[in-house]
Amino acid sequence: MTEFAEERRAAILSMLERNSSVQVAEVADALGVSRVTARADLDALARDGKLRRTHGGAVSLSRTLTVSIQDLRVNVNVEAKRAIAREAAKFVEPGQSVLVDTGTTGLELVRALGDRGEVTIVTADLTIADYVDRSMPSAEVVLLGGALRKGHRYTSGAVAVSALSMLRPDVAFVCPTAFAPGRGFMTGYEGMAELKRAFLACAGTTCVLMDASKVGARGLFFFGDVGDADVIVMEKDPEGAVAGCLGDLPTRLDPCG
């Protein structure tokens, strides 16, 4: 391995220390190399046991911020999630308290809040809390308790709902697993449905964040309808499925794509 390759790979590991995950395109742009070279460097680091390769990128092993189920999702629809996060971040002012739902869209939102200064992040997601602790020195974290869902790195259940009942965040960002036209927001886990219902009702302003792939996706448990949100942020609304459910409701659809 050449000296330049060593430097590149050290730089990639530094990127993972800061962000927990990287994409091939990000590595190529940051290091000024081709995507072929970036992939080769990621593959070499994976063989050396220094990171875990994912579709389109890699995640950190040393910091283990995105593990198990989240490993499978961190690079799925990532550009849409980042566009949604950038748009959603506009609803947050410095000094505000912000509830952030679990999952990779929530994590992208927190990353987008990096320049907001002294915000307080309320979350049930251990990955998000860990990221704020390491990467946002001016931010505070309120971590909801409850039962840990193993392999998913979040808490839920009656204890989490009870903790949330004592709080009134300025803004809540809620991320459904699926949206069923004519029905509403869905999730795949009963314990999380209870908590997400509480998320929808706890804040001064409620924003639902979902990429277009969530429309018509599978989700067993209903937790809210479009009228429970003040704003729904999407990169696009396929075939007007969400807009068609709004009718005369005051809920605003914010397409950012």
Residues 55 and 95 in one domain: no
Whether the pLDDT of residue 70 is over 60: the answer is no
Measured CA to CA, the distance from residue 82 to residue 104 in angstroms comes to 10
Task: Summarize the confidence of residues 36-65 as an average pLDDT.
Answer: 83
- Asked if residue 72 is part of any domain, the answer here is no
Whether the pLDDT of residue 254 is over 60: the answer is yes
Whether the pLDDT of residue 29 is over 60: the answer is yes
- Asked if residue 73 is part of any domain, the answer here is no
Residues 185 and 234 in one domain: yes
Residues 202 and 238 in one domain: yes
- Count how many domains the chain has: 2
Which residues is 141 bridged to in the sheet?
A: 121
- Asked if residue 70 is part of any domain, the answer here is no
Task: Summarize the confidence of residues 134-139 as an average pLDDT.
Answer: 88
Residues 84 and 171 in one domain: yes
Residues 126 and 21 in one domain: no
Task: Summarize the confidence of residues 162-189 as an average pLDDT.
Answer: 96
pTM of the model: 0.75
Residues 88 and 188 in one domain: yes
Domain final residue pick, 35, 64, 93: 64
Residues 103 and 181 in one domain: yes
- The predicted pLDDT at position 47 comes to 85
For residue 16, give its domain range. 3-64
> How many Å separate Cα 55 from the centre of its chain?
17
pLDDT band at 257 (very low <50, low <70, confident <90, very high): low
Task: Summarize the confidence of residues 21-32 as an average pLDDT.
Answer: 91
Whether the pLDDT of residue 175 is over 60: the answer is yes
CATH number of 228's domain: 3.40.50.1360
Residues 242 and 148 in one domain: yes
- The predicted pLDDT at position 122 comes to 98
Number of neighbouring beta carbons within 10 Å of residue 11: 14
Tokens of 28: 């190529």
Task: Summarize the confidence of residues 217-225 as an average pLDDT.
Answer: 95
Q: With helix as H, strand as E and coil as C, how does the chain read?
A: CCHHHHHHHHHHHHHHHHHCEEEHHHHHHHHCCCHHHHHHHHHHHHHCCCEEEECCEEEECCCCCCCCHHHHHCCCCHHHHHHHHHHHHCCCCCCCEEEECCCHHHHHHHHHCCCCCCCEEEECEHHHHHHHHHHCCCCEEEECCCEEECCCCEEECHHHHHHHCCCCCCEEEECCCEEECCCEEEECCHHHHHHHHHHHHCCCEEEEECCHHHECCCCCEEEECHHHCCEEEECCCHHHCCHHHHCCCCCEEEECC
Between CA 76 and CA 238, with CA 152 as vertex, the angle to 5 degrees is 35
Residues 32 and 99 in one domain: no
Residue 17: CA count within 13 A, CB half-sphere: 6
Q: Chain-wide mean pLDDT for the chain?
A: 89
Task: Summarize the confidence of residues 43-68 as an average pLDDT.
Answer: 75
Task: Say what percent of the chain tops pLDDT 70.
Answer: 93
- The predicted pLDDT at position 73 comes to 53
> Which of 1-15, 157-171, 191-205, 214-228 shows the lowest per-residue confidence on average (mean pLDDT)?
1-15
- The predicted pLDDT at position 130 comes to 87
Contact 174, 207 (CB under 8 A): yes
CATH number of 23's domain: 1.10.10.10
- The predicted pLDDT at position 68 comes to 45
- The predicted pLDDT at position 66 comes to 44
pLDDT band at 74 (very low <50, low <70, confident <90, very high): low
Residues 93 and 120 in one domain: yes
pLDDT band at 54 (very low <50, low <70, confident <90, very high): confident
- The predicted pLDDT at position 67 comes to 45
Residues 97 and 195 in one domain: yes
Residues 53 and 86 in one domain: no
Higher pLDDT among residues 224 and 77, named by residue? 224
